[in-house]
Amino acid sequence: MSSVTEEDANDAAAQDRVEQRAAEREKLRTSRFDLVTSFLMALMLFIGTLTVMVVIIFITTRWAFPPLAMEPIIENPAGTQNPEGFERDFEPPGAEEVEELMEPTLQDTIEAVTEAVSSVAATLVTTDTTSTATTAGTGAGDSRPPGPEGEGDDIIPRFERWQLNFTARDIGLYARQLDFYKIELGAIGGSIQGVDIANNLSGSPKKYRVVKTEDEKRLYFMWNSPSPLMQFDRQLLGKAGIPLPNRQMLKFIPDPLENQLAHIEQAYWESKGYTSVTQIAKTVFESKADGRGYKFVVTSQRYRKPKN
């Protein structure tokens, strides 16, 4: 009887251990509540991580990192006395210049628009000549002298060597390009003393006047032939409240942009195997879209014939 009792006791103990283990496994088994909670936590973590990544991308793509400071490229073109009556002279335009900038006829405008199709490319160059016309201004010429008499390098000055091209389908796109480069529009001549200048062209244009034109030292360009983009300049200047009859329209280039263009030009002629800016006769820049902004690139360059 005792042996049977011991066996029954052992079986009962074994059965108890089995039940205890089963109970422990049941406690460790993942419940539906745990499954739903884990799923929701994983989903929240995924959405949170995705949101942070989207915010980082949004912020970084809109940060405007300032351009790296570039060493100024200073040129010292040779010259004797300032040429009278052209290029950087801030005198009112003469009759010959005004004739070139007269409002085109309806037929001319239609022909120009037809040729441009959906995109209008304009060329901005300074007026240049080797002779003095009696109908031109009578000022001292370049407001920044090329250098001491008889000294300097044999360089074609930037205002004569450079050409800036813009492409725009509408006035809004054109104005945004000018504002991106911090280029300001101006008007000079007529019966108004000084030069009127407009900025913030893509928003609400603001104007100011420089009475002493000798204080304005920036490089500037003016139209030398009619173009549909001239009408954009007229509209933007008119929007700023600047009178235009019998006046010459100008584009003022900020110093940082001028230096940037000089570096772009130098990199281009160095890639072509040239060694000095004295070898450059003409450099044509074109404004192109670059991500969320714009950049100037060299589209063509002409070189001077070596002197014998």
Q: What is the pLDDT of residues 273-284, one digit of tens each?
A: 999 999 999 999
Of the candidates 62, 85, 112, which is a domain's last residue?
A: 62
- 193 and 52, same domain (yes or no): no
pLDDT in tens, 183-238: 999 999 888 889 999 999 999 999 999 998 888 899 999 887 778 888 999 999 99
Question: Predicted confidence band at 57 (pLDDT cuts at 50, 70, 90)?
Answer: confident
- 269 and 180, same domain (yes or no): yes
Asked if the structure places residue 78 within a domain, the reply is no
- 238 and 126, same domain (yes or no): yes
Alpha-carbon gap, residue 246 to 86, rounded angstroms: 17
Per-residue tokens: 245: 């009859």
- 175 and 298, same domain (yes or no): yes
Give the phi and the psi of residue 33 in degrees, each rounded to 5: -60, -45
Of the candidates 62, 81, 110, which is a domain's last residue?
A: 62
Of the candidates 62, 79, 104, which is a domain's last residue?
A: 62
- 56 and 99, same domain (yes or no): no
Asked if the structure places residue 90 within a domain, the reply is no
- 7 and 139, same domain (yes or no): no
| Per-position DSSP letters for 9-53, written without gaps between them | HHHHHHHHHHHHHHHHHHHHSPPHHHHHHHHHHHHHHHHHHHHHH
- Integer CA distances (angstroms), 6 to 19, 97, 123, in order: 20, 126, 112
Number of domains the chain is built from: 2
Residue 144 per-residue DSSP state: S
Residue 59 CA, chain-centre distance (Å), reads 20
- 40 and 131, same domain (yes or no): no
- 223 and 174, same domain (yes or no): yes
With 60 as the cut, is the pLDDT of residue 102 above it? no
Please name the residues in contact with 58: beta carbons below 8 A apart, sequence gap of 6 or more. none
Question: What does the pLDDT read at residue 177?
Answer: 95
pLDDT in tens, 8-50: 677 777 777 777 777 777 666 677 777 888 888 999 999 999 9
Asked if the structure places residue 80 within a domain, the reply is no
- 213 and 133, same domain (yes or no): yes
- 176 and 43, same domain (yes or no): no
Average pLDDT for residues 258-287, to the nearest whole number?
95
Average pLDDT for residues 283-307, to the nearest whole number?
92
Question: What does the pLDDT read at residue 163?
Answer: 92
Per-residue tokens: 102: 């007269």
* Through-space distance between the first and last CA atoms of the chain, rounded to whole angstroms: 135
With 60 as the cut, is the pLDDT of residue 104 above it? no
Asked if the structure places residue 67 within a domain, the reply is no
Confirm if 266 and 277 have CB atoms less than 8 A apart.
yes
Asked if the structure places residue 281 within a domain, the reply is yes
Alpha-carbon gap, residue 1 to 53, rounded angstroms: 77
Asked if the structure places residue 70 within a domain, the reply is no
Q: Which of 101, 89, 137, 112 is nearest to 249 (CA)?
A: 101
Question: What does the pLDDT read at residue 295?
Answer: 95
Question: What does the pLDDT read at residue 125?
Answer: 44
With 90 as the cut, is the pLDDT of residue 173 above it? yes
Q: What domain range includes position 37?
A: 2-62
Question: What does the pLDDT read at residue 101?
Answer: 46
pLDDT in tens, 112-156: 444 443 344 444 444 333 333 333 333 333 444 444 444 678 899
Per-residue tokens: 290: 């670059």
Question: Predicted confidence band at 255 (pLDDT cuts at 50, 70, 90)?
Answer: very high
Question: What does the pLDDT read at residue 267?
Answer: 95
Average pLDDT for residues 252-265, to the nearest whole number?
95
Confirm if 105 and 153 have CB atoms less than 8 A apart.
no
Asked if the structure places residue 238 within a domain, the reply is yes
Please name the residues in contact with 179: beta carbons below 8 A apart, sequence gap of 6 or more. 199, 200, 201, 202, 203
- 169 and 238, same domain (yes or no): yes
Per-residue tokens: 3: 């042996």
Q: pLDDT above 70 covers what percent of the chain?
A: 69
Asked if the structure places residue 77 within a domain, the reply is no
Pairing of β 280-290 and β 162-168? parallel
Question: What does the pLDDT read at residue 71?
Answer: 83
- 292 and 186, same domain (yes or no): yes
